[in-house]
A = this chain, B = another copy of it.
Amino acid sequence: MSGERQSRANKEDHPVETAPSMEDRHVASVAVAVDVVPFGLRDGALHAALVRVGHADEAGLFAFPGGRVQPVESLDVAARRCLERHLSPTGSFLEQLYAFGEPGRDPSSRVVSVAYLALVPQTEEAPGVHWFPSSDLPPLAYDHGAVADKALDRLRGKLAYTNIAFGLLADGFTLAEFQKVYETILGRALDRRNFRKKVLALELVRPMGRVRHGPHRPAELFQFAQRALTTVETPLTKKG
């Protein structure tokens, strides 16, 4: 917060400002953008959505969807706009991740980017959007490699202590599918019985009273009890 006024106030109290203020100059010294890291499941594996960078230094590379923050919109709104420009599903989970602001991160101009983590349930195809396995991303433009790392860390961290998985699964999933989400993202196997016990004891998911018929014994279908981010006290993922 503060910004212009804060800056002025500080100078009055403490004249040792390190550099002259940019307030009255007619060029933008630092621009603000958002970048959105959209995760989704494809074939049971975690994928991230990327778009191609069209030209200049980074031409041909992939990057996460993003763009400038407009003068009248909040960061959250800008992030959702950038997400929905490429991927239709509204109501996707979206939360702020981290602000990246190294001076050299965009070689052509000084841009501070606020990164967002997005989860999209059904990874439908969309023009210009390329889905890559999160464990095997192509070379990325700017510092989007670091952005991807941060997003994955955040997702892993929240998986253990929240119901964030609701962002990846539409209601009507089997417990095996649910467990596979955890195993995929955490990169380790979990015990079927303990997993079931825990997610039911925590009332994270609820049986819907329907079953899905496959080649073998039908599986009960579940839905999330809450579709808003909820923190649980006991971790979902030690081994079970």
A interface, CB within 8 angstroms of B:
1-10, 12-14, 16-19, 21-23, 26-33, 35, 51-58, 63-75, 81-82, 85-86, 96, 98-103, 105-106, 108-115, 128, 141-144, 147
Q: Which of B6, B58, B112 contacts A142 (CB 8 A)?
A: B6
Residues A69 and B30 in contact, CB atoms below 8 Å apart? yes
Known: A3-B112, A16-B85. 7 other contacts (CB 8 A): A5-B56, A6-B35, A10-B67, A14-B86, A21-B68, A29-B68, A75-B101
Query: Taking each of A56, A99, A102, A106, which has the highest tally of chain B beta carbons within 10 Å of its own beta carbon?
Result: A99
* A–B pairs, 18, beta carbons within 8 Å: A1-B33, A1-B35, A1-B111, A2-B33, A2-B63, A2-B113, A3-B32, A3-B112, A6-B53, A6-B106, A7-B67, A22-B68, A28-B28, A28-B31, A32-B32, A73-B103, A75-B101, A112-B114
Q: Which of B63, B70, B110 contacts A9 (CB 8 A)?
A: B63
Residues B5 and A71 in contact, CB atoms below 8 Å apart? no
List B contacts of A108 (CB < 8 A).
Answer: 4-5
CB distance from A69 to the nearest CB of B (A): 5
Q: How far is the CA of A65 from the CA of B26 in the complex (A)?
A: 25
Residues A3 and B29 in contact, CB atoms below 8 Å apart? no
CB distance from A3 to the nearest CB of B (A): 3
List B contacts of A73 (CB < 8 A).
Answer: 103
Residues A4 and B111 in contact, CB atoms below 8 Å apart? yes
Work out how many copies of this chain go into the complex.
2
Residues A128 and B18 in contact, CB atoms below 8 Å apart? no
List B contacts of A19 (CB < 8 A).
Answer: 70
Q: How far is the CA of A4 from the CA of B86 in the complex (A)?
A: 18
Q: Which of B12, B17, B33, B103 contacts A3 (CB 8 A)?
A: B33
List B contacts of A35 (CB < 8 A).
Answer: 1-2, 6
Q: How far is the CA of A109 from the CA of B8 in the complex (A)?
A: 13
Q: How far is the CA of A30 from the CA of B65 in the complex (A)?
A: 20
